[in-house]
């Protein structure tokens, strides 16, 4: 069976919503998604891309329609734990490096769940180190250790390489899915992702 990957950045609300529905896809399709941390700011620089809000600014009715589709997705999947982060856009460099550190420390899955929660379910200003430290402590992590590890060259290099490799494979934003070599962009492609997984079984 082809490897199934989810390339994400905590700063993307669409990545968070995709994260919430992945467990059901895994259950139905009998697969486990591999989560791949990437830095969305780095992706934008490497691809000359910009955030959707920037690209759609000034286009009459476009942002309103995107918000409508966003709410439709939430209703379709019965998502209850979402609240728009008033500090958006969030500089995610620290918490994405934290994801790499958590991966190295064997606490990656719980870190992903908890940090997504602190950004999009119980929104906090998660680009402020003091806020991040408090949030990690609240979630039962060794905050001092994780934050110290974010400054290690290995952690920095791994996030940089992960981002570069993702872009080299076709990524230009988040969330991006890969089923083997097939690429799918955005939470709205989750059905296509599931179909591709089942097609390859």
Domains of the chain: 4-199 (3.40.30.10)
β pairing state of 4-8 and 176-179: antiparallel
Residue 200, pLDDT above cutoff 90? no
Count of C-beta atoms within a 10 Å radius of residue 165: 13
- Whether 109 shows a pLDDT value over 80: the answer reads yes
Contact call for residues 27 and 21 (beta carbons, < 8 A) = no
Asked if residue 175 has a cis previous peptide bond (ω within 30° of 0), the answer is yes
Convert the pLDDT of each residue in 130-173 to its tens digit: 999 999 999 999 999 999 999 999 999 999 999 999 999 999 99
Residues 6+ apart with CB under 8 A from 172: 43, 47, 49, 185
Q: For the whole model, what pTM was predicted?
A: 0.95
């Amino acid at each position: 069976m082809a490897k199934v990957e989810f390339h994400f950045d905590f700063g993307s609300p669409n990545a968070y919503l995709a994260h919430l529905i992945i467990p059901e896809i895994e259950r139905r399709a009998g697969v486990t998604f591999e989560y791949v941390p990437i830095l969305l700011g780095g992706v934008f620089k490497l691809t000359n891309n910009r955030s959707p809000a920037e690209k759609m600014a000034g286009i009459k009715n476009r942002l309103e329609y995107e918000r409508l589709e966003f709410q439709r997705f939430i209703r379709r999947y019965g998502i209850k734990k979402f609240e728009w982060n008033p500090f958006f856009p969030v500089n995610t460099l620290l918490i994405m490096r934290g994801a790499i550190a958590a991966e190295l420390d064997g606490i990656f899955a719980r870190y992903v769940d908890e940090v997504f929660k602190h950004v999009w379910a119980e929104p906090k200003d998660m680009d402020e180190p003091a806020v991040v430290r408090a949030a990690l402590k609240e979630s039962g992590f060794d905050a001092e250790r994780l934050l110290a590890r974010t400054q290690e060259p290995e952690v920095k290099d791994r996030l940089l390489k992960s981002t570069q490799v993702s872009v080299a494979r076709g990524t230009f934003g988040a969330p991006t899915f890969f089923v083997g070599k097939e690429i799918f962009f955005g939470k709205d492609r989750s059905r296509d992702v599931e179909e591709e997984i089942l097609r390859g079984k």
